[in-house]
Amino acid sequence: MAIRTDTPEPGASLADGRAVRELFETLLEDWGRGDGEAYGSRFTEDADYVAFDGSHTRGRAEISSSHQQLFDKFLKGTRLTGRILSIKFPGPDVALVHAAGGTILRGKTEPSPERHSVQTLIAVREGDQWRFAAFHNTRVRPIGRGASTFLIWAVTDRLWRIFGPRPETDA
């Protein structure tokens, strides 16, 4: 995927927009190499990472470690596709990024449609480089596109209620 560097994002310099786009691209490349340490290094020391399944990882070290475990087992040989949909700079050192993408499974050449996701990321400037301070990934599961998609959503929602983990409660 080419990094668009031709126009500055609103509220930022051309260099800031380019740096945030390059950070995103590098994150995808790290995943493709199965390098959890490099992947985690793109995040701040105290970053928040929410995966598609709602699991919440905190901090660069935990992001690195948990992703290496995934890359070594369940996600071995996978690659990410992605594109930035928008970048907004609410301040000179903060960028709000919206992106979309998917996962290409081992042995495949195209992303699996059931893994299509949208992400919201917060990038912050740390010294002279940008890192992600927050990442939230959500699988695309629209419910308003007709009876069949609503039925699929309703059935999977019911199965999750039956077989999914139980929420922790305070005693």
Listed by start position, the domains of the chain span 14-163
How much is the pLDDT for 166? Answer: 67
Token pair recorded at residue 118: 């949208």
The CATH topology of domain 14-163 is: Nuclear Transport Factor 2; Chain: A, (3.10.450)
Considering only CA atoms, give the Rg of the chain.
17
Type of residue at 66:
S
pLDDT in tens, the chain (171 residues): 334 444 455 556 889 999 999 999 999 999 999 999 999 999 999 999 999 888 999 999 999 999 999 999 999 999 999 999 999 999 999 999 999 999 999 999 998 888 889 999 999 999 999 999 999 999 887 676 677 777 776 777 777 778 776 666 554
pLDDT of residue 149: 72
Task: State pTM to two decimals.
Answer: 0.81
Structure tokens at 73: 């087992």
67: left (phi over 0), alpha (psi -120 to 50) or beta: alpha
Q: In this predicted structure, what is the pLDDT of residue 135?
A: 98
> In sequence order, which residues have a C-beta less than 8 Å from that of residue 37 and are 6 or more positions away?
64, 68
> CB–CB of 26/42 below 8 Å?
yes
Count of other CB atoms within 10 angstroms of residue 167? 5
